[in-house]
Amino acid sequence: MDTPPLILGSTSRYRRELLERLRLPFTVVAPQVDETPAPGETPEALALRLALAKAQAVAAAHPQAIVIGSDQVADLAGEPIGKPGTHERAREQLQRMSGREVVFQTAVAVARADTGFARVLLAPVRVRFRTLGDAEIEHYLRAEQPYDCAGSAKSEALGIALLDAIESDDPTALVGLPLIRTCALLREAGLDPLAA
């Protein structure tokens, strides 16, 4: 039986780089999904809904493929904190998160239209931010420009200096694609990364 093609339904270069670690051939397709939160939607529910919607949207157009979708929402005391987009918004986000715990709700979904398989898992990451001074925040933002990262925190680089602790059972979840859960879902969908 032929191995079905694998597609990453994402425009994130971080997710693409993480998926490359599995040494599986894959292509990238941008999902066309409205990412606007529903009224009253929790960060956890938003991440789960968007990850599944991204996987299913791409799977509908590529029914013979196994499609991975993922989403991450920073959760500050129940409030979703998205990608800042600008320097000013990034500064405001980091000032608000200074000295506090933020849960990065990272969800991954795998969908396969030809078999009807669709499943989503959550990999929450608890992050404790140090108490940050304005000069530290400014130095970090000028060096990293993390305007495309949820919560302005890029832990795989200088952003690690913003933190006191990271708690997670899936070590790549904070970067945006929890690979342990991704592998589990791929196996369920019929693609074992160790047998491909």
Angle between helices 13-20 and 179-189 (to 10 degrees): 70
- Phi/psi region, residue 51 (left: phi>0; alpha: psi -120 to 50; beta: rest), is alpha
Closest listed residue to residue 26, CA positions, set 45, 11, 52, 6: 6
Active site positions, annotated: 71
Q: Where are the alpha helices (DSSP H) in 39-172?
A: 43-61, 87-97, 134-144
CB 9 within 8 A of CB 68: yes
Residue 50, CA atoms < 13 Å, CB-side half-sphere: 23
Phi-psi region of 23 (alpha: psi -120 to 50; beta: other; left: phi over 0): left
For residue 51, give the nearest of 99, 120, 113 by alpha carbon.
120
- CA–CA separation, 25 vs 97, rounded Å? 38
Give dist(CA 112, CA 119) in Å, integer.
Answer: 9
